[in-house]
Amino acid sequence: MHSLQGKNILITGGTSGIGLAVAENFVASGAEVTLTGRRDSGAETAAKIGANFVRCDSTDEDQVENSLRETVAAHGKIDILVINAGMADDEGSIEEFDSARMRAMMDLNCNGVFYHLKHAPQHMHDAGYQLVDQWDNLEKSLELVGQPDLSLDRYRGYCFQRTV
């Protein structure tokens, strides 16, 4: 496992699922990790793994900006940003799919990523930053901790097949 000692990492949507698993590996590798999430209960989850927490709804541009500022104020810099917050809903046929649910999914998966990509660089330039987006976050995150996932392409294929 590679050492991430002295690195400050911000993981959006890091309080469950893939984001939480990545956070646990980063903490184990010596990084100072901050998680974001929509629910205040994320603070408890973060504390359990030795991470920090900033409440942030990634669909709200002001909250995204604030989460970046708070992280830098608390830790001096952001070396790595893992844009992990996202959602998928592939239950049922497209004819039955709720339009409001689709708008919410697009807001988080597209606008949320855009807001982070728009505002993060101004907080990261001095650190020689690395951005990891939601599509390749697992692969790059596992590489950073020396555990590349050989089955990721198969998983992507599975997700694509479920969507179609």
Query: Model confidence over 119-141: pLDDT tens digits?
Result: 998 888 665 655 555 445 445 54
22 or 155, which is more confident?
Answer: 22
CATH architecture of 8-163: 3-Layer(aba) Sandwich (3.40)
Phi, psi torsion values for 139, nearest 5 degrees: -60, -50
**58, 108 contact by CB (below 8 A):** yes
Among the ranges given (99-103, 136-140, 158-162), the one the predictor scored with the smallest mean pLDDT: 158-162
53, two tokens: 């927490």
Beta bridge partners of 80: 9, 130
Chain-centroid distance of CA 74 in Å reads 19
CB neighbour class for 23 (10 Å; exposed up to 12, middle 13-18, buried from 19)? buried
- pLDDT bin (cut points 50, 70, 90) of residue 39 is very high
pLDDT, the chain, mean: 81
In this predicted structure, what is the pLDDT of residue 131? Answer: 56
List pLDDT tens digits, range 60-97.
999 999 999 999 999 999 988 999 998 887 777 888 88
In this predicted structure, what is the pLDDT of residue 59? Answer: 96
Among the ranges given (44-53, 98-107, 120-129), the one the predictor scored with the smallest mean pLDDT: 120-129
